[in-house]
Amino acid sequence: MDNELTALGIIFTEFYYWVTVVFMFLIHVGFCIYEVGASRYKHHTHTLMKNTMVIPLVTVTFFFFGWWIYFAFVNGPWIIGDLVAAPFATPWSELMGTHMGGAPQEGSVLTADDTAFWARINGVFWAAFLLFSWTAASIVSGAVIERIRPSAFWILAVVIGSFTWIIDASWGWSWNGWMVQKLGYHDAYASGVIHAIAGGFALGVLLVLGPRIGKFRKDGTPRNINPHNPWLVTVGLFLIYTGFWGFYVACNIPIIDVYGPAMLDVPDKSFFSATNIYLQPTTLSAITFNFLMSLSGGLMAAYLVSDGDAFWTYSGGLAGVIGASSGNDLYHPIQAMLIGAGGAILAYKMHYWVERKFKIDDAVGAVAVHGYAGFYGIVVAGFMLWGYPSSPFEGYAAISPWGNFLGALIMFFVLGFFPALIVSKILHGMGMLRIPREIEMVGLDINHESLRAMEAEDVAEAIREEAAASGA
């Protein structure tokens, strides 16, 4: 930081990620509002607190081990190599705190290069990834409302938010992850690494948790449990759209010399650009075009397919973005629009087919919008970007349909569905997964409501006494 240009580059990067975090906070606000709108009155407080407490629990665990996993697990470990040392990301590292970038402490395993590089970027980079972690957990939260025990959900939230999703990011959403190197896996804006895994995870939990009481008739046909407040649901989804801007921008590295020594190391050449997470050059313009066009494709298709249903039209907008996100760094905007439309139709159709066929009660369509549309997004990118290099570095597999299809299976099933199924089975076996039946019937907030009723009656009694005393 001894000259203005270096300082500008570093502090711009620091500020850039910080802004993405502020935007992404809105995703969580949106999810909380959305869930409260979707749940029934008698469950509101618990529904809100269930998702709110994702924030601290995933944050602290992401500090304790999630961040380290991202750097340490790029080789599997033991799929293509060993654990990778990441001393700047352990919870006891001096770089996980206020640091000015000078020499490391005596006896530290850190180098002077480590401290100079990570001192200003570590916290904001950690936070940008952390907000993705909240999103992954929050996606699951909506699917299981009104019957999961909050304690069980919070354990599951830590499993996906600070463990399984960050393993998938290490494998398939880092410049040197084994899936990128060996499969040519390409998922620039996280169709798979956030959405497919979270959808698969939600499905695994739902399978063990079961439907809400009253969701299915005796003959197995589903009843529609309408949102308590559809307007809150749509406001929540609007906020998620807004936060999505931060999500997209956080997937990029804002400025890097692609030919510089830290990257391709081409002598006498410079090319400063934003890159995606794989260090492939891209532009904010490209992703702005494609974000909006895929959102539009999703909204338009969902409006038609759902006959103008507000909930599904908004959800279709999300499914549109999610369906195109894998390749939204490279697609043409009209391709993004059409792919987005396909994602929305698939999510809508699959939701109701799975509900009828397998009696899965996904209260907010999370498995469909995130899981199926995310899976579809990865597979489509494999075809659309077939033959593109998956990395600027030599020796990596090219993007291919089979590489991305295998990647989609890993995201949805290996790191999403199966871990959720196993942990949910354990929690179920311990009697910790689902709230007691009687409480589910009357509502999780029964004691709050009883207390509120008693307090209201107490106030009414006081008013009656006052009125009697004054002769009114």
**Phi, psi for residue 450 in degrees, rounded to 5:** -60, -45
Interface of this chain with other proteins, residues 375 to 414, rule: CB under 8 A: none
In angstroms, give the least distance from the CB of 387 to other proteins: 46
Task: Pick one of 4, 5, 100, 470: the residue that binds other proteins (CB under 8 A).
Answer: 100
Cα 82–chain centre separation: 27
Is 122 a residue that touches other proteins (CB under 8 A)? no
Task: Pick one of 14, 257, 309, 449: the residue that binds other proteins (CB under 8 A).
Answer: 449
Which window, 96-104, 306-314, 322-330, 383-391, contacts other proteins (CB under 8 A)? 96-104
| Strand, helix or coil for residue 233 | helix
In angstroms, give the least distance from the CB of 34 to other proteins: 24
Is 155 a residue that touches other proteins (CB under 8 A)? yes
In angstroms, give the least distance from the CB of 308 to other proteins: 30
Asked if 190 and 136 count as a contact pair (C-beta separation under 8 A), the reply is no
User: Nearer to other proteins by C-beta: 266 or 442?
Assistant: 442
Sheet with 281-282, strands from edge to edge, namely 253-257, 272-275, 281-282
In angstroms, give the least distance from the CB of 153 to other proteins: 11
User: Nearer to other proteins by C-beta: 226 or 450?
Assistant: 450
User: Nearer to other proteins by C-beta: 106 or 307?
Assistant: 106
Task: Pick one of 84, 109, 266, 442: the residue that binds other proteins (CB under 8 A).
Answer: 442
* DSSP line for 100-155: -S-PPPTT-S--HHHHHHHTTTHHHHHHHHHHHHHHHHHHHHHHTTTTB-HHHHHH
Beta strands in 192-314 (DSSP E): 253-257, 272-275, 281-282
| Strand, helix or coil for residue 254 | strand
Beta strands in 272-391 (DSSP E): 272-275, 281-282
Structure tokens given for 52: 């709110």
How many CB atoms lie under 10 A from the CB of residue 121? 16
Per-residue mark of binding to other proteins, 75-94 (x: CB under 8 A): ---------------xxxxx
Is 447 a residue that touches other proteins (CB under 8 A)? yes
Q: For residues 96 and 339, what is the distance between their CA atoms, to the nearest angstrom? A: 40
Residue identified by tokens 């033959």 is 387
First to last CA, the chain: 76
**Phi, psi for residue 378 in degrees, rounded to 5:** -65, -45
- Which helix H or strand E contains 341, and what residues bound it? helix 333-358
Task: Pick one of 36, 57, 300, 360: the residue that binds other proteins (CB under 8 A).
Answer: 57
User: Nearer to other proteins by C-beta: 308 or 431?
Assistant: 431
User: Nearer to other proteins by C-beta: 398 or 435?
Assistant: 435
Q: Which residues contact 325 (CB under 8 A, 6 or more apart)?
A: 187, 188, 189, 190, 191, 195, 294, 374, 377
In angstroms, give the least distance from the CB of 149 to other proteins: 7
Which window, 57-65, 216-224, 306-314, 367-375, contacts other proteins (CB under 8 A)? 57-65
Task: Pick one of 14, 29, 45, 63: the residue that binds other proteins (CB under 8 A).
Answer: 63
In angstroms, give the least distance from the CB of 453 to other proteins: 6
Greatest Cα pair distance, the chain, in angstroms, is: 95
In angstroms, give the least distance from the CB of 15 to other proteins: 20
Residues forming contacts to other proteins in the complex (CB under 8 A) are 1-2, 42, 57, 60-61, 63-64, 90-94, 96-105, 115, 119, 149-151, 154-155, 432, 435-436, 438-439, 441-442, 446-447, 449-450, 453
